[in-house]
């Protein structure tokens, strides 16, 4: 099973970036035809989970730079899947999933499940929790280093 592992890299950053590319390629292939990319799916999923949220909160959750977020959200808004309102604090932008956004997310979800399933069955069981839990710790550590 680790028979088809790639060679180990000395650099932790190179290592995680390589794995992220490989995993992303798998998910993108599965999401073909849903009209959304992995990044967009992730944003819709985050909004579904958190409910209406200030932009900065999304950036926190996903460790996404504010300027990146600013641009990746725009196409979603343009497609009518999310909607912006200004909060009491006029600087703040709050995002809400629209019904269309909810539908799009629901439509993509089964294919996302399939991608998850496909990856999971290719991994030893320990590696799955590694992806979900341990990498949350790694992200937190890197962020505050």
Site of interaction with DNA (CB under 7 A): 17, 21, 24-25, 28-29, 32, 37-40, 54-56, 59, 63-73, 75, 88-94
Look-up: residue for tokens 């949220």? Answer: 53
Shortest CB 18 distance to DNA, Å? 8
Place of tokens 């997310």: 105
| Cβ-based nearer residue to a copy of itself, 77 or 119 | 119
Kindly state the smallest distance separating residue 119's Cβ from DNA, in Å: 15
Cβ-Cβ contacts under 8 Å for 138 (sequence gap 6 or more): 16
* Smallest gap from residue 131 Cβ to DNA (A): 16
If contact means CB under 5 to 8 A according to the sort of partner, which of a copy of itself, DNA, none does residue 9 touch?
a copy of itself
Contact flag: residue 73 with a copy of itself (CB under 8 A):
no
Per-residue H/E/C for 45-66: HHHHHHCCEEHHHHHHHHCCCH
Cα gap 35→55, rounded to integer Å: 23
Helix, strand or coil, per DSSP, at residue 97: strand
- Residue 94 Cβ vs a copy of itself, minimum distance, rounded to whole Å: 19
β-pairing, 93-97 vs 82-86, is antiparallel
With vertex at residue 107, the alpha carbon angle to CA 106 and CA 108, rounded to the nearest 5 degrees, is 95
If one asks whether residue 106 binds a copy of itself (CB under 8 A), the answer comes out as no
The binding track of 42-61 with respect to a copy of itself, each residue x by CB under 8 A or -, is: x--x---x-----------x
> According to the binding rule CB under 8 A, does residue 72 interact with a copy of itself?
no
């Amino acid at each position: 099973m680790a028979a088809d592992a790639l060679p180990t890299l000395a650099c932790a950053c190179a290592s995680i970036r390589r794995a992220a590319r490989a995993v992303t390629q798998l998910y993108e292939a599965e999401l073909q035809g849903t009209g959304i990319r992995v990044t967009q799916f992730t944003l819709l999923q985050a909004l579904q989970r958190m409910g209406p949220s200030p932009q900065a909160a999304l950036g926190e959750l996903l460790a996404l730079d504010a300027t990146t977020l600013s641009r990746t959200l725009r196409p979603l808004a343009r497609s009518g899947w999310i909607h912006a309102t200004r909060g009491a604090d006029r600087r703040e932008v709050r995002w809400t999933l629209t019904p269309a956004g909810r539908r799009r997310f629901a439509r993509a979800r089964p294919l996302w499940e399939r991608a998850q399933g496909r990856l999971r069955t290719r991994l030893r069981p320990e590696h799955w929790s590694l992806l979900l839990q341990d990498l949350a710790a790694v992200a937190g550590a890197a962020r505050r280093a």
